[in-house]
A and B are shown apart, each in its own frame.
Chain A
Amino acid sequence: MSDMRFGDVRSLCDMNEGVLSPLVFTDEAIYQLELDRIFGRAWVLLCPAGQIPAPGDFFNTYVGADRVIVVRQKDGSVKALLNQCRHRGNELIRQDSGNVKAITCTYHGWSWDTAGSLRSVPYEDIVFPEGFDKSAWGCVQMAQVDTYKGLVFGTWDPSAPTLIDYLGDAAWYLDTPLDRFEGGMELMGGVNKWIVKANWKIIAEQFVNDMLHPEMTHISALIASVPPGADMSNMQLPVTGRQFTSPQGHGMGLWTDGPILDLTLGERVKHYLVDDSYAAAVARVGKARADVQAAHMTLFPTGVVLFGFNHIRVIHPVSVDESEIWTWQLSPAAAPPEVKQLWAKNSQRAFGAGGLFETEDSAVWSGIQRTMKGAIGRRHPFAVQMGDRVNRGPDPDYPGRVTQRAYSEVAARGFYHRWLEMLTSENWREMDRAAQARYAEGGHQ
């Protein structure tokens, strides 16, 4: 399978039938194709804007497997530069974050300004006796960088749609975690990073799709979080909610009810969310969004948002069977200081490398990857078939394609539909045509 052609890929992912080959998680040729055709073209979440507030502030990240420096410009805009010297490829910045006036290579000393223009070459007159056109050797940079309500995204593809078109209906949902509170959201500290020995899609898929697993996977954290003496029979996870999917592959599940926030964030924070700030939120974003208590979302391909917990994350592919998860914590800027702190702390206690809940997830993700090492474990497809297979029409309150339950696999199918379209399409017009066909009347979902 190392000579992977598009016809072969198509046979591995049939979301009309809801069957998915394990090979999409293990094949090196598919992984290399993803780096090029997905991470080389999609709008990828880079960081919260609060990570680089002042001119010269930089944040060192990845887009796919490429290292990228996100840097705040003098005029307040943001650029994303490939972290690679144009002379002979040395890494330009090795710190995680900081502030720079110039970016100077530690090999031969070529130096760029924060906009990525080559400014100086040591001994220029001597080493280039016939002259040198420095303007031709600016840093490679992302073609488009844009911000949506405090989140910075970038794409290498100049022909990609604008960020707001790329987000589509997902932007409406994103306003719940990003714009629900007067005064916006504030970044609480730095980045929580850890590795997971699993293909990036196994992780991204959980956040696009999987509201079903907590009761099984996270039972130990639920037991540990129930107040002493409480009646466990009331602790069933709620059924009130929605699942959302979109032509762009973004998706989410949301709850409008249930005990999950009491158990994780505690009474004080929950009270702030559903009482103290509720009326203002209804006025600001409307009842449907103000009612969302907890939700998981993946912005295709690797941006993750956990509503309620105020987590922003990105899943970096490291290799076909390993990923890094980076998590930022936000809190409502205008909330009382003790609520802000408690919110951040309790969210971190639930999710992250040491999270009461998430330690179980990473064990499952790496466990999935382990079962696909053998020929037989890669031969038989997985079932991705839960939820409505045909669309039941629009929801009165929630835009886009939504199901009436948070438990479904419609969003996973939407994710893999888009994954295949992006992998196999030559251009965005082709991708859009394919998406339109599946969104036509009677189309599968």
Chain B
Amino acid sequence: MSALQDTRTALDALMLQHRVEQFYYAEAALIDGRDFMAWLNLFTDDTRYLVPIHRNTAVNEFSDSLGDAGLAHFDDDKSVLQRRVIRMASGRAWAEDPPSIQRHLITNVQARQLEGGELDARSCFQVHRYRLDREVEVFTGARVDVLRPDGESFRIASRTVYLDHATVLANNLNVFF
């Protein structure tokens, strides 16, 4: 392999990393800006949005314990995700009226090209949610996505969200991750 090719490969990897990170930052801005309809459009029509439930296990079971409770907070196709967005946009979702102030911090982004053109993209998040006078809740976790190229950008063909809590330490999960 020539030096030029090496440089090109490295540049491609850098560009890919950059594009995926920018995609995630833009996505976070849509959620924090409560533009949920636009956020929904980032998902493919055949998407699956999964937030499995974690369980406290013995150490030797730990590797499979992330999400092994066999039950999910969210296990949605696009139509269910759409219902959640419609609910939020209805103006009558009292738990989000007044709206909570959310900040999605996205980090630890790793992207890898899969056969067939899709990407395996992983990221970590911390979501800070402030509501009413003094309600503060913090969610942390990891996301494993399959991103499908769409022009210069991507769509999310599947997302699995691993919350770092076995018990949800919040009044509700009115949050998109």
Known: A193-B167, A362-B171. Is A356-B87 also a contact (CB below 8 A)?
yes
Residues A188 and B71 in contact, CB atoms below 8 Å apart: yes
Known: A223-B87, A223-B90. Is A191-B73 also a contact (CB below 8 A)?
no
What sequence of 0s and 1s flags, for each residue 215-226 of chain A, a beta carbon within 8 Å of any chain B beta carbon?
001011101110
Task: Number of A interface residues at 8 Å Cβ cutoff, please give it.
Answer: 39
Residues A197 and B171 in contact, CB atoms below 8 Å apart: yes
Q: How far is the CA of A90 from the CA of B12 in the complex (A)?
A: 56
Residues A192 and B174 in contact, CB atoms below 8 Å apart: no
Q: Does B166 contact A (CB under 8 A)?
A: yes
Shortest C-beta distance, A151 to chain B (Å), equals 18
Question: Which residues of chain A are near B93, meaning CB under 8 Å?
Answer: 220, 359-360
Known: A188-B70, A191-B71, A360-B95. Is A220-B87 also a contact (CB below 8 A)?
yes
Interface residue ranges of A22-51 to B (CB < 8 Å): none
Q: Does B80 contact A (CB under 8 A)?
A: yes
Question: Which residues of chain B are near A97, meaning CB under 8 Å?
Answer: 55
Q: Does A349 contact B (CB under 8 A)?
A: yes
Residues B57 and A95 in contact, CB atoms below 8 Å apart: yes
Q: Which of A195, A356, A360 contacts B168 (CB 8 A)?
A: A195
Interface residue ranges of B142-177 to A (CB < 8 Å): 166-174
Q: How far is the CA of A97 from the CA of B70 in the complex (A)?
A: 13
Shortest C-beta distance, A141 to chain B (Å), equals 23
Q: Does B75 contact A (CB under 8 A)?
A: yes
Residues B173 and A354 in contact, CB atoms below 8 Å apart: yes
Question: Which residues of chain A are near B71, meaning CB under 8 Å?
Answer: 188-192, 329, 344, 348
Q: How far is the CA of A219 from the CA of B167 in the complex (A)?
A: 27
Interface residue ranges of A323-371 to B (CB < 8 Å): 324, 329, 344-345, 348-349, 352-354, 356, 358-360, 362-364, 366
Residues A191 and B94 in contact, CB atoms below 8 Å apart: no
Residues A190 and B55 in contact, CB atoms below 8 Å apart: yes
Residues A96 and B56 in contact, CB atoms below 8 Å apart: yes
Q: Does A194 contact B (CB under 8 A)?
A: yes
Residues A356 and B94 in contact, CB atoms below 8 Å apart: no
Q: How far is the CA of A223 from the CA of B169 in the complex (A)?
A: 28
Residues A354 and B51 in contact, CB atoms below 8 Å apart: yes
Q: Does A94 contact B (CB under 8 A)?
A: yes
Q: Which of B57, B70, B94 contacts A220 (CB 8 A)?
A: B94
Question: Which residues of chain B are near A217, meaning CB under 8 Å?
Answer: 94
Question: Which residues of chain A are near B167, meaning CB under 8 Å?
Answer: 193-195, 324
Residues A356 and B84 in contact, CB atoms below 8 Å apart: yes
Q: Does A98 contact B (CB under 8 A)?
A: yes
Question: Which residues of chain A are near B173, meaning CB under 8 Å?
Answer: 194, 353-354, 359
Shortest C-beta distance, A219 to chain B (Å), equals 5
What sequence of 0s and 1s flags, for each residue 54-86 of chain B, a beta carbon within 8 Å of any chain A beta carbon?
011110010000001111111110001001101
Smallest CB-CB separation from B133: which chain A residue?
A370
Question: Which residues of chain B are near A219, meaning CB under 8 Å?
Answer: 90, 92
Q: Does A196 contact B (CB under 8 A)?
A: yes
Residues B170 and A223 in contact, CB atoms below 8 Å apart: no
Known: A94-B56, A95-B57, A223-B86. Is A354-B94 also a contact (CB below 8 A)?
no
Q: Does B121 contact A (CB under 8 A)?
A: no
Smallest CB-CB separation from B57: which chain A residue?
A95
Residues A195 and B170 in contact, CB atoms below 8 Å apart: yes
Q: Does B53 contact A (CB under 8 A)?
A: yes
Q: How far is the CA of A95 from the CA of B57 in the complex (A)?
A: 5
Question: Which residues of chain A are near B69, meaning CB under 8 Å?
Answer: 189-192
Question: Which residues of chain A are near B72, meaning CB under 8 Å?
Answer: 345, 348
Question: Which residues of chain A are near B70, meaning CB under 8 Å?
Answer: 188-190
Question: Which residues of chain B are near A220, meaning CB under 8 Å?
Answer: 87-88, 90-94
What sequence of 0s and 1s flags, for each residue 190-219 of chain A, a beta carbon within 8 Å of any chain B beta carbon?
111111110000000000000000000101
Shortest C-beta distance, A165 to chain B (Å), equals 33
Residues A359 and B174 in contact, CB atoms below 8 Å apart: yes
Question: Which residues of chain B are near A363, meaning CB under 8 Å?
Answer: 94-95, 171-172
Shortest C-beta distance, A217 to chain B (Å), equals 7
Q: Which of A192, A223, A354 contacts B172 (CB 8 A)?
A: A354
Residues A359 and B95 in contact, CB atoms below 8 Å apart: yes
Residues A352 and B73 in contact, CB atoms below 8 Å apart: yes
Smallest CB-CB separation from A60: which chain B residue?
B56
Q: How far is the CA of A189 from the CA of B171 in the complex (A)?
A: 22
What sequence of 0s and 1s flags, for each residue 92-109 of chain B, a beta carbon within 8 Å of any chain A beta carbon?
111100000000000000
Question: Which residues of chain B are near A353, meaning CB under 8 Å?
Answer: 73, 168, 170, 172-173
Q: What are some 23 contacts across the A-B interface (CB < 8 A)?
A: A98-B57, A188-B71, A189-B70, A189-B71, A190-B55, A191-B69, A191-B71, A193-B53, A193-B167, A195-B168, A224-B83, A224-B87, A344-B71, A345-B72, A345-B75, A348-B71, A348-B75, A349-B75, A349-B80, A356-B87, A362-B95, A363-B94, A366-B171
Given contacts A188-B71, A223-B86, A354-B173, 15 further A-B contacts (CB under 8 A): A98-B58, A190-B71, A191-B53, A192-B71, A193-B167, A194-B171, A195-B168, A220-B91, A223-B87, A224-B87, A225-B83, A345-B75, A348-B75, A353-B170, A354-B73
